[in-house]
Structure 1
Amino acid sequence: MNDKKIEDSATDPLPTLEEALTTVNASLYPKGHLDILSREEVARLRDASAGGMHGLLRNCALAVLTSGAHSDDPNAAANAYPDFDIQVHQQDRGIRIDLINAPGMAFVDGRIIRGIADLLFAVVRDLVYTAIEMGPEYSQELETSAGITDNVFRLLRNARVLKPGDPNLVVCWGGHSIGREEYEYTKQVGYELGLRAMDICTGCGPGAMKGPMKGATIAHAKQRRGSSRYIGLTEPGIIAAESPNPIVNHLVIMPDIEKRLEGFVRMAHGIIVFPGGVGTAEEILYLLGVLLREENRKLPMPLILAGPKSAAAYFEQIDRFIRMTLGEDAASRYEIIVGQPDLVARTMVKGVRAVREYRIANRDSFFFNWAMEIPYEFQVPFDPTHEAMAGLQLHKGRAPQDLAADLRRAFSGIVAGNVKEQGVRRIKEHGPFEIHGDPDIMEAMDHLLRAFVDQRRMKISGEYQPCYRVVR
């Protein structure tokens, strides 16, 4: 008898896409918000010519249906299931979602797994709402900082992830391509957080995005918490390479990376950064760029960089890069803790209490950080074309928050060139991005990126080819 061995890995205990090519046809009847879609909203999803949403819906749905499969290639699922399709039909009492040639791994005995169905309905919900919230009638609103923040708030509220009550949401950032020891550490930190009634929000993928959730589920069960939140924030450009892990019970697809980042920091009561690659560096730089603004200097936002003892050198590299480019003031906004997952949790809980006291004193809401000032240039989507990447101003003498913004865009472009379909296509067509700046900044950036490659923190399908070239 050949029993299949299931192991908890740093990704997910599911087969590769190549090992799971059976397909299923099914019809689903979602409940909740999707009971009351208008015919126009259904048409936007159904008809590719009505706003071009059908292709986006298909890609996001396929990512959810292959949740947990082992691949870093953004095209892997599409290549494995070329005949997959999804159709949304108007019914008298709601909608029907038809799945054609859907991945069999999402089904058990012909019935879709409940958690995957919930994530699929979240995809439909968010794409419908985004089509409305970012339609032509809202174009003027999206030209102001306050308007964009309001847009982010409505997207999160529509997804029902804004929860009144005492602050307890810890955002965890980190890489999807991490080693076993680092993954086990993220689980242990999540466990310690869960014992202290903290909920978890991550980028929704595997690795450091799954580990804290997995650890917290055990702790929440021990504490008999019945309504725990495991929130995954993603966006269409990256979901194919980082499909939701199976623990996510609240999936939100934000329209772009900038609104995703704003969603993280507006909802967070504290942030923990685990070891990661370029995307993690991008998130750190975004947050520091926001916190370094004069308007935000008094805002409490506990920020901890944490990893096992073996990750000490990694955080030393990150710390050196931040101090050299942004200065000592930026370094004062975070704390580095190596090992001691219980200390990480205790420190975070103490920081969250400070957030609670500050918001009570300033009459700010617990569930959305309205007081944080995020400037318009941080909110505008960055399209990493070759021209845009070459035009970044990575020079000393600029205000740290402005330099942080352009450094973040540089890392964002590198993420796009590595894992996002459009970015990968641009690199194939026009060659690597050219990034310009002061020699010492460029040298430090190049050293950091090469370290990510050497440590396999920029893992992609096949042999790694850098998507950038540093021009000093």
Structure 2
Amino acid sequence: MSDTYAGAPAKPGTVSARISPVGGLDVLSRNEVARLRGASGSGLHALLRRCALAVLTSGNISDDPRAILEQYPDFDIQVLQQDRGMKIELSNAPAQAFVDGQIIRGINELLVAVVRDIVYVSTQLEQVGFDLDASAALTQSVFEILRNARILKPQVDPNLVVCWGGHSISRQEYDYTKLVGYQLGLRGLDICTGCGPGAMKGPMKGATISHAKQRRRHNRYIGITEPGIIAAESPNPIVNHLVIMPDIEKRLEAFVRLGHGIIVFPGGVGTAEEILYLLGILLHPDNAGTPFPLIFTGPRQSAAYFEQIDRFLRLSLGDEVARHYQIIVDDPETVARTMIKGLEKVRHNRLDTKDAFFFNWALQIPLEFQLPFRPTHEAMRALQIHHERPRHELAADLRRAFSGIVAGNVKEEGVQAIEQHGPFVIDGDADIMRALDKLLQAFVEQHRMKLPGGTAYEPCYRVLNA
């Protein structure tokens, strides 16, 4: 699986090895290998290095996007095409990814997923020339990436539950996510999350136990991430299918196209972004009547959190928004039973509309939810957060506001922008701004913005009219 190679000796705490990939990566062309090595000037090598290091430090608890690179400044990865197949050469890789000189198989598989997705997006989607300003083409690109990753499973009834929630949550909240995952697993459901720690790991961990009790094999623990966030949320060890989407918008679309229902646990701005993304889509007139089970849940200690989320959503988007979700507090079994009922409605709807079980083609996702949003200071200030806008359009800009804060908190580009130009400024109708500021302050007080430890959280945003 791995062997040492003749080269510079690894530094203390690191390993240098040549890896035989496992997990279904096809052979690469000379052009693809050259792009990954940086010989073509594509810049892919830096992306490959950053994502590979995140995988090799799976289980890392830091959410500083630069901390891992600073810890392993001499790490390098090269992809080699040889007569007998492909090899991955690692220099000064984290020793935690190896046991007795052999790379851990699960990490090997995730490393292959990194190479696979970076190669596919750069050489297939970009060079084929999709019209990435057209909604149908953007959806097709999401489908192509998931199909290439072999995630889409035909002839399987709807059983994939997406779990959203924060990476920085309390111990009681984390334990609760495991209990919900356990109940989902008992009922034969698979789990998809953002692949990181906290509420992204707990449901998978709970489901592994119940899947084992039910003697259920071929379980899917899918982690969907994107390059800007993987370094801050390294894949947790349970993920057995990793997909790296090109940007946050395609990541979010992958969740709602692939998943059959969604459970939201307590979280911070990233979780709020996800909620607004889905609700904005469900509020679009073209999706009226489309079943999509959405449950907000947490332990008793988190009841106030969901009350505050509910108040913010009703104030900004109107009371009608609440018909698209259910809030269930401190009852994992009811959560699972409610999801099962929701999935049965999804199944009947897909049969009636002749839509695929494995990819939700029928859901209409407006272009404003698909186009990548680059959270510059100008773009954040230009957001139109006003009541008179159509609700799905207002939800789209609210989603962008939270996306910008996520970038300022944990994405390297966003962190650098804040260091250079100060906090992002967010403006809009006074009542929404007051509610937004109150919600964000609660996230800060509850330590939902950053993982505990290190320096105190310094807001990367400033809300006007609050």
**Normalised TM-score (structure 2):** 0.95
In structure 1, list runs of 5 or more residues that go unmatched: 1-19
Q: CA deviation at 1:70?
A: 2.1
Q: CA deviation at 1:137?
A: 3.8
Q: Does 357-366 or 39-48 show the bigger shift?
A: 39-48
Name the counterpart of 2:419. Answer: 428
Q: Do the aligned partners of 1:45 and 1:54 also contact (CA within 8 Å) in 2?
A: yes
C-alpha distance in 1, partners of 2:366/2:322? 21
Letter in 2 for 1:114: R
2:93 matches 1:116:
no
Name the counterpart of 1:357. Answer: 348
Residue by residue over 1:155-194, the C-alpha shift from the partner in whole angstroms, topping out at 9 and shown as x without a partner, is 0011111111111000000000001100000000000000
Map 1:402-413 to 2 at 5 A. Answer: 402-413=393-404
Corresponding residue to 1:316 among 299, 307, 330: 307
2:89 matches 1:98:
yes
Q: Does 45-54 or 241-250 show the bigger shift?
A: 45-54
Corresponding residue to 2:151 among 161, 172, 178: 161
Q: CA deviation at 1:94?
A: 2.3
Letter in 2 for 1:142: L
Q: CA deviation at 1:90?
A: 1.2
C-alpha distance in 2, partners of 1:319/1:34? 44
SS in 2 for 1:61: helix
SS in 2 for 1:332: helix
Q: CA deviation at 1:32?
A: 5.4
Map 1:109-148 to 2 at 5 A. Answer: 109-139=100-130, 141-148=131-138
Q: Do the aligned partners of 1:21 and 1:80 also contact (CA within 8 Å) in 2?
A: no
Name the counterpart of 1:176. Answer: 167
Q: Does 207-216 or 462-471 show the bigger shift?
A: 462-471
Q: Do the aligned partners of 1:34 and 1:94 also contact (CA within 8 Å) in 2?
A: no
C-alpha distance in 2, partners of 1:443/1:459? 22
SS in 2 for 1:34: coil
Q: CA deviation at 1:48?
A: 5.4
Name the counterpart of 2:282. Answer: 291
Corresponding residue to 2:69 among 78, 84, 90: 78
SS in 2 for 1:51: coil
Corresponding residue to 1:87 among 78, 92, 115: 78
In structure 2, list runs of 5 or more residues that go unmatched: 1-10
Letter in 1 for 2:136: A
Corresponding residue to 1:462 among 421, 436, 455: 455
Residue by residue over 1:80-121, the C-alpha shift from the partner in whole angstroms, topping out at 9 and shown as x without a partner, is 100000001111132111000000010111111110110001
SS in 2 for 1:24: strand
Residue by residue over 1:380-413, the C-alpha shift from the partner in whole angstroms, topping out at 9 and shown as x without a partner, is 0000000000000011111110000000000000
SS in 1 for 2:147: helix
Q: Cα RMSD between the aligned structures?
A: 1.2
Map 1:317-396 to 2 at 5 A. Answer: 317-396=308-387
Q: Do the aligned partners of 1:21 and 1:81 also contact (CA within 8 Å) in 2?
A: no
C-alpha distance in 2, partners of 1:453/1:338? 22
Q: Kindly tell me: are residues 31 and 105 of structure 1, through their superposed partners in 2, closer, same or farther at Cα, counting changes over 3 Å?
A: closer
SS in 2 for 1:142: coil
Map 1:190-269 to 2 at 5 A. Answer: 190-269=181-260
Q: Does 49-58 or 381-390 show the bigger shift?
A: 49-58
Q: Kindly tell me: are residues 185 and 21 of structure 1, through their superposed partners in 2, closer, same or farther at Cα, counting changes over 3 Å?
A: farther
Q: Do the aligned partners of 2:22 and 2:108 also contact (CA within 8 Å) in 1?
A: no
SS in 1 for 2:243: strand
SS in 1 for 2:229: coil
Name the counterpart of 2:3. Answer: none
2:144 matches 1:151:
no
Q: CA deviation at 1:133?
A: 3.4
Residue by residue over 1:266-317, the C-alpha shift from the partner in whole angstroms, topping out at 9 and shown as x without a partner, is 0111000000000000000000000001111111000000000110000000
**Normalised TM-score (structure 1):** 0.94
Q: CA deviation at 1:328?
A: 1.4
Q: Do the aligned partners of 1:21 and 1:103 also contact (CA within 8 Å) in 2?
A: no
Residue by residue over 1:306-356, the C-alpha shift from the partner in whole angstroms, topping out at 9 and shown as x without a partner, is 000110000000000000000112111000000110000000011001100
C-alpha distance in 2, partners of 1:137/1:283? 30
Letter in 1 for 2:460: C
Q: Do the aligned partners of 1:65 and 1:102 also contact (CA within 8 Å) in 2?
A: yes
Identity rate, percent: 68
C-alpha distance in 1, partners of 2:188/2:23? 27
Q: CA deviation at 1:136?
A: 4.4
SS in 2 for 1:393: coil
Letter in 1 for 2:37: R
C-alpha distance in 1, partners of 2:361/2:247? 20
